[in-house]
């Protein structure tokens, strides 16, 4: 009985990127053969890079080929997808469709060499599913399928695919094992039997043991231009070694007929791998090319240049004027042009990939921008007269967990928009700048107004925003597949990067707890002072809102009604505790006690005695 190792149990949806009319028929033929005959779907994918004229020409050339296959089976569908790059388009469709198999093609050897190209390399290395690589040959049809059998799990997958293709084509199939001189024939035969164990249709497969010093040379001596060679191997580092090693290079370059390489994840049968495949839709892993491009972009974003300084100056002045005028519209204008998000994104990418020079440049650029904005805010606060902070300034001088949440979500949105080129870049600037420039300017205005509490609160908000945005950016880039080892093959860089992440995570948690505890501490301090006003109350609960004037709600639980004189005394206490205007609302919750409770007296030792005559 077949088990979960067999292709016919999981190839329900197959993606076939096509661009060349010469190789499209062979790719579609293989895809329809390995796809489930009843429940399967083959998507013939055409990637459009935005050039409508070129796309229409490509569709016109490929559509008749696809229609020919649609006449043979109704499970073939044409799909055109717009993308910023061919590799990204293929990976996005594969992920969004939750495909089981991706069939991609290579051209015939040119001047004796097969050229993989960056598209194939990036797709094979990053694909969220199994990959079947087809190298075309001069002849489309084949009369025999040859499977290299070495007893491994990937070779079993290759054997199953070979049996399916042989049955679909009406060809014979032969499993070949290659062993060196001096070994017993039965050792090679045992590897063949291990490969074909429990593979359906294995009894129709011919077994052949070849003796040779070199595996590739041994196989090539038995191949003709009428043979289809299938080799199975695991994904990962083994894939890289085989794609660029002598073995695969010899077979891809010298095999007279077509060649298929089946790439299956080595951890396919583990629980983690199955979960990764199931939830792969939510993880658009970046290709190596996209990661390199993102690092180059981060290096540009982390650099201090004239445009960066000009935008800092303009956004700081706008934010200062908006805060002093209590104008949200002007503050939004400052958010739209503030460039402080750039060094933070660069910092997050440097932290994720272990590029410490990028981290250093990002930190220096951020510090330069912050000090420049502070200087402008102090000057603006001195020039423009203002007797007290405005509501917009007070809102940024009293940080809370909600502000931290805004910063964290802004960091997520900004990092994701930076990594995904098909999302408008303006989203990143608006999302992150909204949480950075206004607090920086508020610090400077607080210094200019000699309001230490306002400046300290805004500084805490800015520090929290910076940490939360950076950690959110790191989380997004890590989620998208960026790692230190992808940039530098150095364990020390990897470990140092992890240490930095842990340090920032600790600061992240401490800041979060500080913001959480600050509001609680302020409310508790006011409640303690008000207990002297409401001396007989069983409970005094304080809740502080946000706004201008600042709303303060005091809940008093007592069996004695609260009088207007008590409220006036409470306002006098709050005048000494709260800076700025406030609005006090006292909510009285009367406690009604039973007659027994009213007449009982509790002794110091805890025993109660009834009043005489009760």
Hey, what are 612's tokens?
Answer: 């005489």
One domain for residues 278 and 319 = no
* Same domain, residue pair 371 and 273: no
Domain boundary among 262, 282, 302: 282
Identify whether residues 366 and 440 lie together within a single domain.
yes
pLDDT digits (tens, 9 = 90+) for 36-68: 878 889 999 999 887 778 888 888 899 899 988
Q: How confident is the model at residue 111, as a pLDDT?
A: 56
Q: Which of 282, 315, 339 is the last residue of a domain?
A: 282
Confidence at residue 586, expressed as pLDDT on a 0 to 100 scale:
85
**Measured between alpha carbons, how far is 43 from 243 in angstroms, rounded to an integer?**
26
Does 573 lie in the same domain as 433? no
> Does any domain span residue 609?
no
How would you label 542-571 residue by residue, b for 16+ Cβ within 10 Å and e otherwise? bebeeebebebebbbebeeebeeebbeebb
Whose CA is closest to 7, among 124, 163, 152?
163
pLDDT at 368: 93
Handedness of CA 95, 96, 102, 107 (dihedral sign): negative
Q: What's residue 495's pLDDT?
A: 60
Furthest CA-CA distance within the chain: 117
Q: Are residues 294 and 222 in the same domain?
A: no
The predicted structure's pLDDT at residue 365: 93
Residue 610 is predicted with a pLDDT of 43
In a domain, 523, yes or no: no
Domain assignment present for residue 108? The answer is yes
Residue 431 has a pLDDT of 53
Cα separation, 539 vs 100, whole angstroms: 63
Q: Does one domain contain both 505 and 480?
A: yes
Q: Are strands 144-148 and 227-234 parallel, antiparallel or unpaired?
A: parallel
Query: Looking at the structure, do residues 500 and 568 belong to the same domain, yes or no?
Result: no
Distances (CA, A) of 275 to 13, 100, 268, 391, 480: 18, 14, 10, 49, 16
Domain that holds residue 256: 7-282
Q: The domain spanning residue 586 has which CATH number?
A: 3.30.70
Residue 2 belongs to a domain: no
The pLDDT of residue 7 is 42
Quick one: CA torsion of 318, 324, 328, 329, rounded to 10 degrees?
A: -40
CA distance linking residue 298 with residue 345, whole number of Å: 7
Coil/strand/helix, residue 462: helix
Residue 440 in domain: yes
**Residue count (the chain):** 614
CATH number of the domain to which 207 belongs: 3.40.50.12370
Residue 532's nearest CA partner among 571, 573, 473, 504 is 573
Distance between CA atoms of 494 and 216, rounded to whole angstroms?
Answer: 37
Do 469 and 431 meet the contact criterion of CB atoms below 8 Å apart? no
The answer as to whether 62 is a domain residue is: yes
Phi (first) and psi of residue 209, to 5 degrees: -110, 125
- Strand segments (E) across 56-202: 76-82, 101-106, 130-135, 144-148, 172-179
| 103 touches 27 (CB < 8 A) | yes
- How remote is the C-alpha of 399 from its chain's centroid? 28
For the stretch 264-278, pLDDT in tens is 654 444 445 555 555
pLDDT confidence of residue 238: 45
* 275, 316: one domain: no
Q: Does 327 map to a domain?
A: yes
* 486 and 561 both lie in a single domain: no
Residue ranges for the chain with pLDDT beneath 50 = 1-9, 237-240, 242-244, 266-271, 486-489, 601-603, 606, 608-614
SS3 of 172, please?
strand
Boundary of a domain, candidates 282, 317, 344: 282
Tell me how far apart the alpha carbons of residues 98 and 249 are, in angstroms, rounded to a whole number. 31
Q: 244 with 126, same domain?
A: yes
Give the Cα separation of 363 and 369 in Å (integer). Answer: 10
Q: What is the CATH number of the domain that holds 393?
A: 1.20.1080
- Give me 525's structure tokens: 């301090």
Nearest to 432 by CA among 341, 356, 313: 341
CB 434 within 8 A of CB 328: no
Residues 497 and 545 in one domain: no
In-domain check, residue 613: no
Q: What is the number of structural domains in the chain?
A: 3
In terms of domains, do 274 and 393 share one? no
Q: How far apart are alpha carbons 297 and 293 in whole angstroms?
A: 6
Q: How many CB atoms lie within 10 A of CB 100?
A: 21
What pLDDT does residue 432 have? 54
Nearest alpha carbon to residue 78 among 97, 96, 52, 59:
59
The answer to whether the beta carbons of residues 83 and 48 sit under 8 Å apart is: yes
């Amino acid at each position: 009985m077949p088990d979960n190792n067999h292709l016919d149990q999981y190839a329900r949806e197959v993606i076939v990127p096509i661009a060349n009319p010469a190789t499209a028929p062979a790719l579609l033929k293989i895809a329809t053969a390995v796809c489930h005959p009843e429940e399967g779907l083959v998507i013939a994918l055409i990637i459009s890079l935005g050039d409508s004229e070129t796309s229409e020409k490509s569709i016109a050339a490929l559509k008749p080929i696809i229609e020919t296959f649609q006449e043979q089976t109704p499970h073939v569908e044409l799909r055109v997808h717009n993308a910023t790059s061919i590799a990204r388009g293929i990976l996005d469709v594969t992920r969004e469709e939750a495909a089981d198999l991706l069939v991609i093609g290579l051209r015939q050897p040119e001047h004796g060499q097969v050229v993989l190209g960056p598209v194939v390399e990036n797709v094979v290395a990053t694909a969220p599913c199994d990959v079947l690589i087809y190298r075309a040959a001069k002849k489309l049809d084949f009369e025999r399928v040859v499977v290299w059998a070495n007893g491994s799990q990937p070779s079993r997958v290759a054997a199953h695919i070979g049996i399916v293709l042989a049955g679909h084509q009406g060809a014979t199939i032969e499993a070949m094992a290659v062993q060196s001189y001096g070994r017993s024939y039965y050792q090679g035969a045992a590897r063949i039997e291990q490969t074909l164990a429990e593979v359906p249709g294995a009894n129709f497969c011919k077994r052949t043991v070849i003796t040779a010093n070199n595996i590739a040379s041994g196989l090539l001596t038995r191949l003709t231009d009428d043979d289809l060679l299938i080799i199975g191997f695991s994904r990962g580092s083994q894939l890289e070694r085989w794609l660029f090693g002598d073995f695969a290079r010899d077979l891809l370059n010298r095999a007279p007929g077509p060649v298929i390489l089946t790439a299956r994840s080595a951890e396919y049968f583990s629980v983690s791998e199955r979960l990764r495949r199931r939830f792969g839709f939510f993880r658009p892993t970046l290709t190596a090319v996209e990661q390199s491009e993102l690092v180059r972009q981060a290096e540009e974003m982390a650099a201090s240049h004239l445009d960066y300084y000009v935008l800092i100056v303009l956004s700081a002045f706008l934010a200062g004027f908006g805060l002093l005028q209590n104008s949200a519209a002007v503050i939004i204008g400052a958010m739209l042009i503030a460039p402080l998000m750039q060094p933070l994104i660069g910092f997050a990418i440097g932290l994720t990939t272990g590029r410490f020079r990028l981290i250093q440049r990002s930190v220096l650029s951020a510090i330069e921008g912050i000090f420049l904005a502070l200087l402008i805010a102090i000057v603006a606060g001195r020039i423009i007269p203002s007797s007290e902070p405005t509501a917009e300034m007070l809102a940024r001088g009293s940080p809370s967990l909600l502000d931290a949440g805004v910063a964290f979500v802004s960091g997520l949105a900004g990092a994701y928009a930076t990594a995904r080129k098909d999302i408008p870049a303006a989203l990143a600037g608006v999302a992150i700048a909204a949480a950075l420039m206004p607090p920086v300017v508020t610090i400077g205005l607080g210094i200019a107004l000699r309001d230490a509490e306002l400046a300290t609160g805004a500084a805490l908000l800015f520090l929290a925003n910076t940490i939360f945005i950076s950690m959110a950016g790191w989380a997004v880039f890590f989620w998208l597949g960026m790692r230190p080892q992808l940039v530098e093959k150095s364990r020390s860089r990897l470990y140092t990067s992890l240490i930095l992440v842990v340090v920032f995570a600790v600061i992240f948690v401490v800041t979060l707890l500080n913001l959480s505890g600050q509001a609680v501490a302020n409310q508790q301090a006011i409640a303690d002072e008000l207990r002297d006003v409401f001396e007989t109350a069983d409970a005094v609960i304080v809740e502080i809102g946000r706004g201008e004037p600042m709303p303060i709600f005091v809940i008093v639980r007592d069996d004695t009604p609260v009088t207007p004189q008590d409220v006036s005394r409470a306002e006098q206490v709050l005048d000494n505790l709260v800076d700025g205007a406030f609005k006090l609302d006292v909510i009285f919750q009367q406690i009604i006690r039973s007659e027994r409770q009213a007449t009982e007296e509790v002794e110091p030792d805890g025993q109660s005695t009834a009043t005489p005559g009760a």
